[in-house]
Amino acid sequence: MPLLEVKIPSMGESINSGILAKWHVADGAIVKKDQPLFELETDKITSEGTAEAAGKISFKVEAGTEVKIGQIVATISSDVGSLLAGAPAPASEIPGGPVASPAVRRLAAETGLDPAAISGTGKAGRVTKGDLLAASEVGRVIPNAPAPAPAAPVPSSSARQTRKKMSPLRQKIAQRLVAAQHEAAMLTTFNEVDMSAVMALRAKYQDDFVKKNGVKLGFMSFFVKAVVHALKEVPAVNAQIDGDTIVENNYYDIGVAVSTDKGLMVPVIKDCDTLSMATVETRIADVAKRARESKITLADLEGGVFTITNGGTFGSLLSTPIINPPQSAILGLHAINDRPIALNGQVVIRPMMYVALSYDHRLVDGKQAVTFLVKVKQAIEDPARLVIGI
């Protein structure tokens, strides 16, 4: 009987093991080629393993097990007999049961429903195609369905706490956040930005932008371009410390923080100084989608020189973001709220956003940090500056 070994794939030299967080299929199910089989959590990324061939799967490890790269976690039998063994018997072969029509037998094979377990409405109690379709709609068990997620631990009436082990990714995030605060002389400076000009541009050109590029014009592309502009004006922010050496970066790979159910990830958009607004928006949407679907790669997370994080999507009004080592600074965006401001001697209502720049004071002086943030503010409040480079 031909057997295919399902192994934990290599994900880079720095990753040696991970946690097989969950199986997407049931033990003994019939799987299709390229079907997602399991979810693997490491200290850097969460990824999926897929089937290299169709067949019947047999587990070698349970969900929640720590596994090594290259370890066999299941086998897939591609023998035709085993495939047939995983399918329910046609109704015509059920002892004592009425003979099913060819249409019913085909539908039973496709859906995995057992006609013998269904009350027939046809002549002499025969199961009809409509009976099978109705049964499938009310949630009958179908082979190949993903294994149900483990039930959340339910505390007893006397328990007041539940415990669960931190995932490798969450442990790594915790270590990096603590290390950043211990190793850097971190300071945060604030400003506020009038979003009127950017909001007017989006409203004016949104429809044409979507028609041409197939993606919406968001706020993030404006801030990415504003950050690149500011990094060119204040190159000290685009540098990092390596021991007793200052490393100046002459490229503009910008990290954009993405919140996932596994934790915060920072995919990097490469060479943002050369990209159009549409390309920036498209790439951000792509990496955010893949991060949330556990399909991000290590290459997507490497090489950033600066990070932008947007707590405003969750309603945050103000925060002090933590820098992402070895980077020297991070820009925090916040919620846009209508607020009264003084403009040309008059009190007017404007859509305002607080912005925060956290930076490593060992490398970036206060004047440079404030200048950087002012450059970002100017570029957002007057986007024409991005076109003419002032």
Catalytically active residues are: 361, 365
| 372 closest CA partner among 239, 199, 277, 272 | 239
| 69 closest CA partner among 40, 36, 46, 45 | 40
Per the DSSP assignment, residues forming a β-bridge with 359 are 187, 329
Give 280's contacts (C-beta < 8 A, 6+ positions apart). 220, 221, 224, 225, 269, 272
Question: Which residue's structure tokens are 């442990």?
Answer: 171
